[in-house]
Amino acid sequence: MIFIAISGSFMPQLALSNPLLEPSPLPLQAPAFDKIVTSDYEPAFEEAIRLKLAEIAGIADNSEPPTFDNTIMALERAGQSLQRVEAIFYTVFAAQGDSAMEAIDKSVSQKTADANNSIYLNEKLFGRLREIYEKRATLGLDEEANRLLEIYYLDFVRSGAELSVANKVQFRQANIQLADLESQFTAALRGASKAGALIVDSPKALDGLSAGEIDMAAEQATAEGQRGKFLIPLQNTTQQPSLAALTDRSTREQLFTNSVKRAERGDSNDSREIIT
């Protein structure tokens, strides 16, 4: 699990009521999860996006000639608050996301895609970047700095910076559509993984698992309203860990099938149309 270590100096006073945007009292700015509630996320995303776009505008509108420091390094420093909010939200979402967080993901994915469009398709910003890139051989940059410059330039080009005005409009729409499809896919995969859990009636079907693992399967079944049964949840891999220990062939087959076909069952969680 990775968190972004950031000082609190970039945080504006107006954001201090949101624990996702205020400086953390914990070492290395680790998130204070005990102070964060679901309703904090979307306002935090909105404020962090606003801050990043303001920082980007400052870089693009800088009246000084573009330099590696006032453009490339400024881009490196921009958006720290958004990085932090994204790191915290998507860590929690991956671990214990629910329908409320899925709705937030759908909403903020659109807003983030729109913000990214505004950054990568910003003509003034790309003009500064391109000017630095074209004279990179004369700047005396070390290998690391030169590579960073190349990466930024390629990222902008591959994100539509050199497209025509008409194609940029189409590209913006495609990015927003893709963000929506990605959110739909995430929701479908999460739902399919939950629905694909293996449920058996007898502990005999789980021969090969330890007594503790079987007890856990019973507890998980009870938690899902299946008292008296046993549940093995799917993990986000094709090969489920329990397959290595289970000795009953039919149980292994069912668990494997549930895993590989989790989002291909013709139900509301079927992701094939989204992928297409």
- Identify which of 209, 60, 45 has the alpha carbon closest to the alpha carbon of residue 122: 60
Q: State the Cα–Cα distance between residues 119 and 163, nearest whole angstrom.
A: 14
Contacting residues for 53 by C-beta, under 8 A, at least 6 apart:
115, 118, 119
Tell me the pTM: 0.81
Each residue of 68-92: pLDDT tens digit? Answer: 999 999 999 999 999 999 999 999 9
Each residue of 6-50: pLDDT tens digit? Answer: 434 444 444 458 999 998 889 998 999 999 999 999 999 999 999
- Identify which of 205, 264, 261 has the alpha carbon closest to the alpha carbon of residue 231: 205
CB 81 within 8 A of CB 10: yes
All structural domains of the chain: 8-162 (1.10.1370.40), 195-275 (no CATH)
Token readout for 186 is 């995430």
Torsion of CA 259, 262, 265, 266, to 10 degrees: -170
pLDDT recorded at residue 8:
40
Each residue of 233-267: pLDDT tens digit? Answer: 999 888 999 999 999 999 999 999 999 999 999 99
